[in-house]
Amino acid sequence: MNHIFFFYFAAVIAGTSVLVVALRNPVYSALALLIMFFHVAGLYVTLHAEFLAAVQIVVYAGAILVLYLFVVMLLSIRSEERYHNQLPVAGLLGVTLCTEVLLLLIQSRTAPSAPGRSVEAAAETGNTEMIGEALYSTYLFPFEVASLILLVAMIGAIILAKKDIIETTE
Amino acid sequence: MTVPLSYYLVLSGFVFLTGVVGVLIRRNIIVILLSVELMLNATNINFVAFSQYFHQVAGQVFVFFALTVAAAEVAVGLAIIIALHRTNSSIYIDDLNLLKR
């Protein structure tokens, strides 16, 4: 049963990720990415990361992709005529790296032994609760740094996108 | 009956390489940013798969930080695209060769 779900999600993720790169119209690329985000969320559910699945849908599909679509519509982009002329180089690089990954995975069949820690804890407390405890105790400082990153990104986006903010201040 | 970890690694490797190829071959900056999103999602799949495999919650916490960085990247990247489109009236990277001239 797990395998069926995994192969369904993996097939859709792989197919839509190829479509994101291959489709000429950026709106279609963004919509293919939307389908991929939903299936990645499904994959998270099969991996027992339910909270992350919800966050994936809310943040990626709800916020980030809508922002992309806004910009695509705002700039009224025509669909692309041709690919970049780096296509042979990119194809060679992609095929080489793909075969390397596959060879490495085939050679190293011995899986590392999983330390069986906090399986019972995961069962009795919820997934969200565990993430919250780790986030606000062990990873408190990175959490605050992340909020600072968001603040800087917000100010930077306003400064970059606003038209005459520099002329009016000078 | 669980799915082996290597399946997740193959999937995320494939998605990551698709993102790399997309960054290299596309001319539209928006699609290049979408390819960067593909790569970030591939790493997130890896994080969650390892988190489940080693029974550690730290991997899922790191997905949050990756998500934060992705959101910041999208905000700043799209603002740069809008500024480029305003000055250059083009978002194709072949036309953005100001430093080469």
A144, part of any domain = no
A102, part of any domain = no
How many CB atoms lie under 10 A from the CB of residue A120? 10
A143, part of any domain = no
Q: Which CATH number goes with the domain that contains A40? A: 1.20.120.1200
Are A159 and B75 within 8 A, CB to CB?
no
Q: Is the pLDDT of residue A14 over 90?
A: yes
DSSP output for A111-143: PPPPP--SHHHHHHS-HHHHHHHHHHHTTHHHH
Domain that includes residue B65, residue range: 5-88
Give the C-alpha separation, A11 to A14, whole Å. Answer: 5
Q: What is the pLDDT of residue A120?
A: 45
Give the C-alpha separation, A121 to B55, whole Å. Answer: 10
B48, part of any domain = yes
Q: Two tokens at B37?
A: 């999103």
- Residues A156, B81: C-beta atoms closer than 8 Å: no
Partner A contacted by B99 (CB < 8 A): no
**Which residues in chain B touch residue A1, judged by CB atoms under 8 angstroms apart?**
1
Q: What is the pLDDT of residues A88-128, one digit of tens each?
A: 788 888 888 888 888 887 777 655 555 544 444 455 567 88
B25, part of any domain = yes
Q: Which CATH number goes with the domain that contains B54? A: 1.10.287.3510
Among the partner-chain residues B26, B34, B57, the one whose CB lies closest to the CB of A131 is: B57
**In angstroms, what separates the C-alpha of A61 from chain B's closest C-alpha?**
12
Contacts of A5 (CB under 8 A, 6+ apart): A42, A46
Nearest CA in chain A to B16: A17
Q: What percent of chain A has pLDDT over 70?
A: 79
Give the C-alpha separation, B9 to A52, whole Å. Answer: 19
* CA-derived radius of gyration, chain B: 17
ipTM of the complex: 0.90
Nearest CA in chain B to A12: B11
Partner A contacted by B90 (CB < 8 A): no
B24, part of any domain = yes
B34, part of any domain = yes
B98, part of any domain = no
Domain count, chain A: 1
A136, part of any domain = no
B95, part of any domain = no
Domain that includes residue A10, residue range: 1-80
Among the residues of chain A, which ranges form H helices? 2-22, 26-46, 50-55, 65-75, 87-107, 119-124, 127-137, 140-161, 165-169
Q: Is the pLDDT of residue A27 over 70?
A: yes
Q: Is the pLDDT of residue A74 over 90?
A: no
Partner A contacted by B24 (CB < 8 A): yes
B82, part of any domain = yes
Partner A contacted by B85 (CB < 8 A): yes
Q: Bridge-partner residues for B92, per DSSP?
A: B28
Among the partner-chain residues B21, B79, B91, the one whose CB lies closest to the CB of A94 is: B21
**In angstroms, what separates the C-alpha of B43 from chain A's closest C-alpha?**
12
Among the partner-chain residues A2, A74, A131, the one whose CB lies closest to the CB of B1 is: A2
A4, part of any domain = yes
Collapsing DSSP states into helix, strand and coil, what is residue B76?
A: helix
Q: Two tokens at B46?
A: 């890896």
Helix B29-54 and helix A2-22, axial crossing angle in degrees, nearest 10 = 160
Are B62 and B21 within 8 A, CB to CB?
no
Domain count, chain B: 1
A56, part of any domain = yes
Residue B16 — very low, low, confident or very high, per pLDDT cuts 50/70/90?
very high
B94, part of any domain = no
Residue B40 — very low, low, confident or very high, per pLDDT cuts 50/70/90?
very high
Collapsing DSSP states into helix, strand and coil, what is residue A55?
A: helix
A3, part of any domain = yes
Q: What is the pLDDT of residues B45-97, one digit of tens each?
A: 999 999 888 888 888 899 989 999 999 999 999 998 888 888 877 888 888 77
